[in-house]
Amino acid sequence: EPEVTQTPSHQVTQMGQEVILRCVPISNHLYFYWYRQILGQKVEFLVSFYNNEISEKSEIFDDQFSVERPDGSNFTLKIRSTKLEDSAMYFCASGRDRSYEQYFGPGTRLTVT
């Protein structure tokens, strides 16, 4: 069964460094999302992406964040200069069409020291 994959599973970085989190959505899906979950808190929406552009973003998704679909298969989230408060589990999700079902990856745990 097709699934969303994410790499790495765990990333440790120093404050101020750039990180890129990678996701491979399900191949025939058109809608892509990033969410994050700070430990012990809610899963929060960051950004959605469709037709090679951002379709919606939350207030969390500031200028330090960017997304890209560089090659038609990967979907990346970049944080330009990480802060301690960026430490969280980051989930990628994809959806095929205007249905409501989003398929989630296993997540990348980002630890900023």
Partner 1 sequence: GNSVTQMEGPVTLSEEAFLTINCTYTATGYPSLFWYVQYPGEGLQLLLKATKADDKGSNKGFEATYRKETTSFHLEKGSVQVSDSAVYFCALSPDRNSGNTPLVFGKGTRLSVIA
Give the binding range for partner 1 (CB under 8 A) out of 14-22, 31-39, 64-72, 74-82.
31-39
69 exposed, middle or buried (CB, 10 Å; 0-12, 13-18, 19+)?
Answer: middle
If binding is defined by CB under 8 A, does position 108 make contact with partner 1? no
- Answer for which of 50, 68, 73, 111 binds partner 1 (CB under 8 A) is 50
Query: Residue count at the site for partner 1 (CB under 8 A)?
Result: 30
The strand pairing partners of 8, in sequence order, are none
If binding is defined by CB under 8 A, does position 59 make contact with partner 1? no
If binding is defined by CB under 8 A, does position 28 make contact with partner 1? no
Cβ atoms of 107 and 90 within 8 Å: the answer is yes
Other CB atoms within 10 A of residue 3 CB: 12
Cβ atoms of 66 and 83 within 8 Å: the answer is no
- Answer for which of 7, 11, 13, 58 binds partner 1 (CB under 8 A) is 58
If binding is defined by CB under 8 A, does position 84 make contact with partner 1? no
Would you tell me which residues interact with partner 1 (CB under 8 A)?
A: 3-4, 6, 31, 33, 35, 40-45, 48, 50, 56, 58, 91, 93, 95, 97-107
